[in-house]
Amino acid sequence: MSDDPTSSPAPVDRARSFGSVAEAYDRGRPAYPADAVAWLAGGEARVVLELGAGTGKLTRELVDQGHAVFATDPDEAMLAVLRERVPEVSAKVATAEEIPANDRSVDVVVVAQAFHWFDHEAALPEIARVLKPGGHVALVWNSRDERIPWVRRMGDILGRQDLDTSSSEHLVHSDLFGFMEEASFKHWQEIDRETILDMARSRSSFAVMDEEEQASHLAEVRAFYDDFGRGMDGMQIPYVTRCYRAVVVDRDDTGPAPEHEPSQEGPVVSDGTDTDMLLIDFR
């Protein structure tokens, strides 16, 4: 099985298929380690825009580390779960190719487990547009550590899409961003006989299967767990969290001044009623 966005069905169909499995996604996908999140954000409290935020697996940790986070995702069903998990953030349906934020309005744009779905020719200029001078974009993927044989067998069943971080190379080849830094962090996810099924259900490849294919796939996953799991004690899956970040290239300051200058009060979040293209409005 594969979640590779280049495989059929069409990538846009696969990218928008997660809403039907939003609850399973939230239960089955691993969180992100705190030290990795601190590296992505760059330390001190920032204004962070999260693209493809999904059910808030990364959002929760960003908020807990003190950042002002504004979350977007193209799927309302995913955001519904995020709003339950992280009710204190502003969450809006939007795509990376048309970001609902003012020019130079955020310190960090972060993308977890989603950058490979973007139309990079459209998304990278949008990301550069909304970043403040000196701001950066940060990408992250959780990848199972398949150096361990039983984890490699799990990959044979679930697919290896999470191991592919090659879309990060779009940052390297873009003249909108500077040198790309990389870092990796290790952590574990505890799963049991039920949550391993949620992990399987959370794949876009699963969401587009017919009912018979889904039942067969879940049976294969359950048999794997029964062979390698530890019953009620569960199973610990080793992960490597692969992180990338790059600072936006400073743009020419000779153009017109921004319509709104930052105030000491910080960002004011739109409720979405004033304009469809406004998420953060510095007054």
**Cβ atoms < 10 Å from Cβ of 33:** 17
What are the tokens at 178? 């500077």
pLDDT of residue 2: 34
Residues 228-272: tens digit of each pLDDT: 766 656 789 999 999 999 999 987 654 444 443 333 333 434 333
Single-letter residue type at 184 = S
pLDDT of residue 231: 60
Dist CA 203 CA 193 (whole Å): 17
Q: Is the pTM of this model over 0.85?
A: no
Residues 129-159: tens digit of each pLDDT: 999 999 999 999 999 999 999 999 988 988 8
Q: State the fold for domain 11-144+163-188+238-250.
A: Rossmann fold (3.40.50)
281 - beta bridge partners? 268
Q: Which of 222, 218, 238 is nearest to 151 (CA)?
A: 238
Residues 6-23: tens digit of each pLDDT: 443 444 444 444 555 677
pLDDT of residue 275: 36
Q: Mind spelling out the 3-state secondary structure of the chain?
A: CCCCCCCCCCHHHHHCCHHHHHHHHHHHCCCCCHHHHHHHHCCCCCEEEEECCCCCCCHHHHHHCCCEEEEEECCHHHHHHHHHHCCCCEEEECECCECCCCCCCEEEEEEECCHHHCCHHHHHHHHHHHEEEEEEEEEEEEEECCCCHHHHHHHHHHCCHHHCCHHHHHHHCCCCEEEEEEEEEEEEEEECCCHHHHHHHCCHHHHCCCHHHHHHHHHHHHHHHHHHCCHHHCEEEEEEEEEEEEEECCCCCCCCCCCCCCCCCCCEECCCCCCCCCCEECC
Q: Measuring CA to CA, how many Å separate 149 from each of 199, 228, 237, 242, 268?
A: 19, 11, 12, 21, 50
pLDDT of residue 267: 42
Q: How confident is the model at residue 45 (pLDDT cuts 50, 70, 90)?
A: confident
